[in-house]
């Protein structure tokens, strides 16, 4: 039987009861490991994290915690090769795709180490300017942010076992809040291994970092006031969490990153021979194929002026024709597997559903897989859909197929394009392609209310741009409405979620004394 991965709770490695759930290689079907959270004393685990972890972290202050993040970076760097091995086996990703998860995580922790160092040896932040409350100004109000004295529970999706952990843990640990992570079961191995390496290195205090692999049963019941939950996953699970008795009863702060139907928009003035057109085509293909389209930020809808619909279909289809799919261990393979056969079935179902309202413009599924058995491997080929009537093809604005699938659609004028994009009802990211900087800025502001991030691409920054789907720690990650309404990252803004805000009303000398210590956020 495959090894049963232990959980790290209450400062100890503990095996769950029973045979557990098996983790598979999505390409070969081989059994890799097992996980079980059955029988864990969750109340004790949470209490240990709050008391031991929280107290120790708060005693450090921001700058020392930033130093701790720097040490975490070194540990993760030192074990990178092992992480790549786990990713290829458990996530079925190519080296380039694994890098987004692994090196993306290390980069993000490194950024927070840098930003955190500037906060100094203190444990509270000022927010905004002070306000005079009385007529003579002697009585004043100042908002402060202090670390919450609870635990940060992370419930993560399967697609980014590494980045999903660290993009949340870096700001939480910097804020002085202990972390309990429950990775998605299918790919829990990588997160569990990273926690094991970091705890073995002895650089985080006891109780500051715990990992629970396997079922989520009982986790939410353990929540208390001042705890926070950060969730990434489907809208259905998000709804369950929001409605959970403990979350409601204790007013537990919850951040949700859910699914979304992100768009790419080519502005009306672009021609088929323009650089903007080429940039949109390249990015659409990249977004469909990176991590086999299993990215919450992936482009699901591609909007082009009516006159360019055929040219765009041809150009995207031609590039997709060059994408080899199969076993990521073969160096000629450009796109690896989906995360599991269950996801493979879900993608097939999604493709079948889209077929009812959209045309297939490109379908790579008749090409043989490289080094992979189609009856076993969770390898799905890219499929480009198109609809000439996007107003009535409601499904393309509603259904997220979490795989290498996207839909091309024509628009009449900018207002029509903006209205179509808004039918996503709130998304993580939209990218806009064009050369007219005023038109780009106008479209960006028009779409800013319904997106957490607007990625504006003009020829001048074609080489330097960071990519539609790449989540940079400097920028906000999260989106309104359907995307979950969450906010992560965005530089030091991320600390807000892990702090409590309070207004201190006092005489000027007391407010002066506050200001002597903390940093102004």
Interaction residues for ligand NAP, span 307-336 (CB under 6 A): none
Binding mask 70-109 for ligand NAP (x = CB under 6 A): ----------------------------------------
Tokens of 79: 């074990």
Q: CB 316 → ligand NAP: shortest distance, Å?
A: 22
- Which residue lies nearer to ligand NAP by CB, 342 or 505? 342
469-508: which residues touch ligand NAP (CB under 6 A)?
484
**Options 202-210, 256-264, 315-323, 435-443: segment touching ligand NAP (CB under 6 A):** 256-264
Among 25, 101, 227, 259, binds ligand NAP (CB under 6 A): 259
The reply to whether 379 belongs to the active site is no
Diameter of the chain by CA atoms? 80
Give the β-pairing of 499-507 and 12-14. Answer: unpaired
Structure tokens at 270: 């672009």
Of 65 and 295, the one with the shorter C-beta distance to ligand NAP is 295
Footprint of ligand NAP on 426-455 (CB under 6 A): 428
Nearer to ligand NAP, 183 or 317 (CB): 183
Q: Which residue is nearest to ligand NAP (CB)?
A: 233
Pairwise CA distance, residues 160 & 508, whole Å:
48
Give the footprint of ligand NAP on residues 158-197 (CB under 6 A). Answer: 158-159, 182, 184-185
Please state the φ and ψ torsions of residue 94, each to the nearest 5 degrees.
-70, 170
50 close to 108: Cβ distance less than 8 angstroms: no
CA distance 62 to 68: 10
The pair of three-digit structure tokens given for residue 365, joined into one six-digit string: 């599924």
- Name which of 339 and 417 has its Cβ closer to ligand NAP: 339
447, 418 Cβ separation under 8 angstroms: yes
| Minimum CB distance to ligand NAP, residue 492 (Å) | 20
Closer to ligand NAP by CB, 66 or 494: give it.
494
User: Counting contacts by CB under 6 A, is residue 274 touching ligand NAP?
Assistant: no
Of 62, 166, 402, 433, which one interacts with ligand NAP (CB under 6 A)?
402
Judge contact between 174 and 65, C-beta under 8 A: yes
Residue 240 sits in the site that holds ligand NAP (CB under 6 A): yes
Number of other residues whose CB lies within 10 A of the CB of residue 243: 9
Which is nearest to 484 in space by CA: 513, 452, 507? 452
**Active-site choice (213, 287, 296, 446):** 296
Q: How far apart are CA 54 and CA 211, in angstroms?
A: 16
298 is a contact residue toward ligand NAP (CB under 6 A): no
Neighbours of 111 (CB within 10 A): 19
What HEC string does 35-79 produce? Answer: ECCCCCCHHHHHHHHHHHHHHHHHHHHHHHHHHHHHHHHHHHHHC
Q: Are 25 and 371 in contact (CB under 8 A)?
A: no
Report if residue 23 touches ligand NAP, rule: CB under 6 A.
no
296 binds ligand NAP (CB under 6 A): yes
By CB under 6 A, the count of residues binding ligand NAP is 24
In the list 124, 155, 393, 489, the residue contacting ligand NAP (rule: CB under 6 A) is 155
Per-residue tokens: 309: 């619909």
**Nearer of residues 94 and 260 to ligand NAP, judged by Cβ:** 260
159 or 431: CB nearest ligand NAP = 159
Binding of residue 233 to ligand NAP (CB under 6 A): yes
Looking at 167, 257, 400, 488, which residue is catalytic?
257
Q: What is the 3-state secondary structure (H, E, C) of 155-222?
A: ECCCCCCCHHHHHHHHHHHHHCCCEEEECCHHHHHHHHHHHHHHHHCCCCCCCCEEECCCCCCCCHHH
Which of these ranges, 80-88, 157-165, 432-440, 456-464, lies near ligand NAP under the rule CB under 6 A?
157-165
Residues within the interface to ligand NAP (CB under 6 A): 155-159, 182, 184-185, 215-216, 232-234, 237, 240-241, 257-259, 296, 400, 402, 428, 484
The catalytic residue positions are 257, 296
């Amino acid at each position: 039987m495959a090894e049963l991965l232990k959980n790290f709770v209450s400062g100890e490695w503990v095996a769950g009861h029973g045979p557990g759930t098996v983790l598979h290689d999505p390409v070969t079907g081989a059994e890799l490991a097992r996980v079980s959270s059955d029988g864990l004393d969750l109340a004790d685990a949470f209490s240990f994290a709050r008391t031991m972890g929280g107290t120790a972290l708060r005693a450090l202050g921001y700058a020392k915690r930033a130093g701790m993040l720097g040490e975490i970076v070194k540990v993760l760097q030192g074990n990178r090769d092992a992480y790549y091995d786990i990713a290829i086996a458990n996530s079925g990703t190519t080296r380039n795709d694994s890098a987004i998860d692994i090196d993306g995580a290390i980069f993000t922790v490194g950024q927070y180490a840098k930003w955190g160092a500037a906060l100094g040896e203190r444990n509270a932040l000022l927010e905004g300017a002070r306000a005079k409350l009385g007529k003579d100004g002697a009585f004043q109000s100042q908002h402060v942010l202090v670390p919450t004295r609870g635990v940060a529970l992370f419930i993560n999706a399967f697609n980014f076992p590494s980045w999903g952990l660290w993009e949340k843990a870096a700001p939480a640990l910097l804020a002085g809040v202990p972390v309990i992570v429950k990775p998605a079961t299918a790919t829990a191995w990588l997160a569990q291994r990273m926690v094991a390496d970091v705890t073995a290195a002895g650089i985080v205090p006891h109780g500051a970092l715990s990992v629970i692999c396997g079922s989520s049963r009982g986790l939410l019941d353990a929540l208390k006031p001042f705890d926070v939950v950060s969730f990434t996953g489907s809208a259905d699970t998000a709804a369950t969490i929001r409605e959970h008795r403990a979350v409601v009863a204790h007013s537990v702060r919850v951040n949700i990153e859910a699914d979304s139907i992100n768009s790419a928009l080519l502005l009306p003035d672009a021609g088929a021979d323009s650089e903007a057109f080429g940039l949109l085509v390249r990015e659409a293909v990249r977004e469909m194929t990176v991590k086999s389209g299993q990215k919450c930020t992936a482009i699901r809808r591609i909007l082009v002026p009516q006159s360019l619909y055929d040219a765009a279909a041809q150009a995207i289809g031609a590039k997709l024709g060059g994408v080899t799919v199969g076993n990521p261990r073969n160096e000629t393979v450009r796109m690896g597997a989906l995360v599991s056969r269950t996801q493979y079935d879900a993608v097939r179902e999604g493709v079948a559903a889209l077929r009812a309202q959209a045309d297939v413009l490109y379908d790579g599924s008749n090409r043989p897989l490289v080094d992979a058995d189609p009856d076993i491997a969770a390898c799905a080929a890219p499929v480009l859909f198109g609809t000439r009537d996007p107003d009535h093809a409601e499904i393309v604005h509603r259904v997220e197929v979490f795989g290498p699938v996207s839909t091309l659609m024509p628009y009449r004028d900018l207002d029509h394009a903006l209205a179509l994009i808004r039918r996503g009802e709130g998304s993580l990211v939209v990218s806009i392609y064009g050369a007219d900087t005023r038109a780009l800025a106008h479209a960006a502001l028009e779409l800013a209310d319904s997106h957490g991030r607007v990625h504006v691409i003009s020829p001048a920054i074609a080489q330097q741009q960071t990519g539609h789907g790449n989540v940079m720690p400097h920028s906000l990650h999260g989106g309104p409405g359907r995307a979950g309404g969450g906010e992560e990252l965005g530089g030091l803004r991320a600390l807000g979620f892990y702090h409590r805000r309070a207004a201190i009303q006092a005489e000027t000398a007391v407010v002066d004394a506050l200001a002597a210590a903390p940093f102004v956020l």
